[in-house]
Structure 1
């Protein structure tokens, strides 16, 4: 017999004899089968929980539908522009609205500042002294007057304003900056810095032009 050949045991009828496995073999197979089933069960539970969390998050997002505040410029005027020598008593009057369009999210305004620019240079600013909370689906009116120390217009700047007035339109930019937090039920977010830029033009009478009135101002966060 060749040494590389493995003998096959046969019974008297010439058929191969089936080997019977030991108890240890069957215990190992059962243990291996249980481990595989347990692994599959754990994976199934994990994937199911992950799917449920994803569905809950999606439903919450749909129900809350977060929207950034909507800022509109309602009124803006410098009545002294209608007077040739109104520089000393110049006043700038503004009226801005902040709209919370969210259904279930409130907004804390912890600080807010209004700044007016002419030719990209600040000519006046003022801060809101009292923080406020805005309920969902609510509009807050923000109005004020810049004059005296809060309206820093030099004689040279006033001359430039009058020169633009003689051409029919004086262009300004009113900017709103605010530190806000969003509130959902009892949870409040971290602070976000809101910026809104509102271009505005006034006519020779110093009143806002109709094409700029009630316009929505672009809003972004930093």
Structure 2
């Protein structure tokens, strides 16, 4: 006579439950991913515009290769979303020349931007006796001789979107804003005290 201990039935039931859970997850996961992707695609990135740059100082020396510069930049940000606000948790602005950072970072206070709203910031960015590579010092000196220098105003930060009561996780933001300044003649821009302001209205290349 064969006795049935009952363990095999319990083990088989547990196995079926585990298989059912795995199958359920495999079916449900693509749906969740699809919803998240659609949600993120629906959200629009902010639009950054470099409106102007005021040059207070821009001096390069060779042997040693040092650069001293002081700028004030005006950057506007527009939230194009009709139903989503944007939290700017962190924004740092600095200047670069041929991919080398030439000023310290200036921080913009954290802020919330409502639906279809705009914000304007005008931070100062500067660098005193910043060491630069010899080839960059030479390039800057040559640019000064032709009185035209192409700078990149860079913005790094973290943002979140708010839709109703739902707030997304933080996303890294990076923007590049090109700025061409003309040196040697104060008539090329607008003289404002000790600075020369250049009106740009230049859209920034933004990645999130």
TM-score (norm 2): 0.63
**Unaligned regions of 5+ residues in structure 2, if any?**
1-34, 187-195
CA distance in 2, matches of 1:142, 1:116: 15
Matches within 5 A, 1:1-222: 65-81=42-58, 90-128=69-107, 130-147=109-126, 150-151=127-128, 153-154=130-131, 160-204=139-183, 205=185, 213-221=200-208
Counterpart-to-counterpart distance in 1, 2:112 and 2:204: 21
Over 3 Å counting, the alpha-carbon distance change for 1:130 and 1:95 in structure 2 is same
Deviations 1:160-206 (A, max 9, x none): 53431221310111111110000011110011101111121100147
Following the alignment from structure 1 to structure 2, what is the Cα–Cα distance between the partners of residues 142 and 184? Answer: 25
CA separation of 1:181 and 1:83: change in aligned 2, threshold 3 A: closer
CA separation of 1:185 and 1:101: change in aligned 2, threshold 3 A:
same
CA RMSD, 1 decimal: 3.3
Deviations 1:37-70 (A, max 9, x none): xxxxxxxxxxxxxxxxxxxx8xx97xx9521000
* 151 and 109 in structure 1: CA distance in 2 versus 1, 3 angstrom threshold: farther
Distance 1:83 1:218 in 2: 28
- Tell me the CA shift for residue 79 of structure 1: 3.3
Is 1:200–1:208's contact at 8 Å kept on the other side of the alignment?
no
More strand by share: 2
Structure label with greater radius of gyration: 1
Going by fraction, where is helix more abundant, 1 or 2? Answer: 1
- 1:90 offset after TM fit, Å? 3.8
Equivalent residues of 2:94, 2:125 under 8 A apart: no
Say which SS state the counterpart of residue 140 (structure 2) adopts: helix
Give the TM-score normalised by the residue count of structure 1: 0.59
Number of aligned residues? 156
Change (3 A) 1:105 1:159: same
Structure 2 CA distance for aligned equivalents of residues 82 and 128 of structure 1: 24
